Chain A
Amino acid sequence: MIIAKQKPLEEIRQMLEGYERILVLGCGTCTAICLAGGDREVAVLASSLRIAAKISGKNHLFKEHTVNRQCEWEFLDTIEEQVKEVDAIISLGCGVGVQAISERFPEIPVFPGLDTLFMGMPQEEGIWVERCSGCGSCILDKTGGICPVTRCTKGLLNGPCGGTKNGKCEVDPEKDCAWTLIYQRLEKQGKLDLFDEYHPPRNFQAVIRPGKFSIKQGG
């Protein structure tokens, strides 16, 4: 899923300066799971903004709503009426969500309430880790299901480098060396021969930005 974190309240208030009727719009999928933009976060942000506005002597309207997914037209269609009642939207979805809303309702300014960080998964309660870079040329079959493009600090396709020490990375001793993890995983699977395989430089044209995929052409 996509991991994001809420922007500082001061930054959000600055963005909304000059707008009086604002829709705080959450996303019920990725950002809800990473506790950045679901129902609860929408309610807390809207309440905070409402209090701050009242203290400043402004009687602004902060509407609250969460759609299942901000990145699909079907779900955005459901807020059409609510959008007519506001003059700005603050999105608690990822960057995709913000752009989708903006594309669907081009007449209304849409502001990002979150900073989108990466594609990842929960490691433990409240901690998320990056697992995929969306490089377009997956080699997880050869690396024991551990992605060196994402998890090796240097993104090496043929590792480990000389900087690995006791299973940790020289760049950040807190981080595991991805290639040590790959070695250990392949050893466990009895597939250490894969470790000898040379990986040619990554095909950077596998996904040309901005990426586009059609199931009709690709599938």
Chain B
Amino acid sequence: MTAENRFEPEIVAFCCHYCAYAAADLAGVARLQYPPNIKMIKLPCSGTIDALYILKAFEQGADGVLVAGCLKGTCHFIDGNIRAETRIERVKGILDKIGLGKDRLEMFFMSSSEGPRFAEVAREMTERIRQLGPSPIKGV
């Protein structure tokens, strides 16, 4: 595949207001380069992520979804990120069963001061989804 027609994945990133969203902001302020494939949605806490948000993103054509919450033990709402992690595992099970594959979904933990980490996560996820190829839904 040439650089011109290289597959550019669409990735929806559900980011916690207190960490990943601020980290993304910091990455931007620091002018760190990261792939523009990430479409960000701010959540008041990663613990508010619902299985339905993720499924709807995939249903509407996302190639990948990432959920980013605070570092473990630092959640503003005590254990929202831990709850999110459990929920993500459950949704990964659903993705496997419906044929999308669990690798299209991932949860990351970071603090608001980790701008470079956000940029790294964005690159890592983009590369992973690029390897997996477009969502099989798009073939229909």
Contacts and interface: CB of A to CB of B under 8 A. Distances in A.
A124 to B, nearest CB: 15
B137 A55 contact: yes
Interface in A38-64: 40, 43-44, 47-52, 54-57, 59
A96 interface: no
Contacts of A49: 98
A57 B140 CA distance: 6
Contacts of A52: 97-99
A9 interface: yes
A43 B139 CA distance: 23
Contacts of B56: 47
A48 B140 contact: no
B3 interface: no
B1 interface: no
B59 interface: yes
Contacts of B99: 51-52, 55-56
B30 interface: no
Nearest to A57: B140
A17 interface: no
Contacts of B52: 40, 43-44, 47
A197 interface: no
Contacts of A9: 94, 97-98
B140 A51 contact: no
B51 A51 contact: no
B26 interface: no
A8 B94 CA distance: 10
Interface in B90-106: 94, 97-100
- With most chain B CB atoms within 10 A of its CB, the pick from A8, A43, A44, A51 is A51
Contacts of A44: 51-52, 55, 94
Interface in A46-85: 47-52, 54-57, 59
11 contacts: A9-B94, A9-B97, A40-B50, A40-B52, A44-B52, A44-B55, A48-B97, A49-B98, A52-B98, A54-B136, A55-B137
Given A47-B52, A48-B94, A55-B140, 8 more contacts: A43-B52, A51-B59, A51-B100, A52-B99, A54-B137, A55-B99, A55-B137, A56-B99
Complex A-B, nearest 3 residue pairs according to Cβ-Cβ distance, in ascending order? A52-B98, A47-B55, A55-B99
